[in-house]
Structure 1
């Protein structure tokens, strides 16, 4: 899924509030295929887990969606696809990724959503999409960067949809 092509494309959006962030997560859900790796980048409180919650709700998940800060990974199985939500915030060393055996989760039948991937630098698989969330007052600024051919396909789907932040 990950091509060595370094050409990148970016989509930038303004998300007025938490509802808009969750709504974008729902839009993202429709663009992701099994085997896709998404890195979620942003400071604490930027909305990474809110985005994942919106994504999972759009897929029909009705149970709780927790931040995996303490568990390292939360697992959701929806329509025979594994959705893994990782959080490496508490890692002190990248090797903790290997020690925890997390590499086995990155498979062709799964979508992996990774918070704090830089904490496992060099060991976590490369991203197809990098989503950067920044706090902008009460709102969020969001950039989606395609980092592979699969990522460009996702970005094309996202760019082609009619979704627009109602807060703009």
Structure 2
């Protein structure tokens, strides 16, 4: 598999995993979404907002129209609005990866960090980080869903692959 196809696969997996996470969250009582939890962003809603913030930051840098916002920005207080924004963001990521080329992936990107200075890094590393960042925080959401009495989330990449094959 070439690098373009690899990142397109990760974008597809990302959208699939997010659908599963949001379905599990939608099954919880609304009060559980905002209940305090032990996590980097201490509730399900705060963590879901952070994932969306991260995606908006990274994708804006990758497309050359950077936005800036604190990492703990609450974009949406309403779960249904957040879910719709997540679907829209996942489609934007899918569309972006559909336009990738090997040359783009092999190039560097200079960007301004939210917390530090300017960096120049390989685009393939940044793309990998964007998808890994989501996986990291989805794992935290998965644990919080369990704590709230929700179902076990089988959202590992291998589960996605088994459904696709």
The TM-score with structure 1 as length reference comes to 0.30
Structure with the higher fraction of residues in strand conformation: 1
Structure with the higher fraction of residues in helix conformation: 2
Q: Which has the larger radius of gyration?
A: 2
The TM-score with structure 2 as length reference comes to 0.30
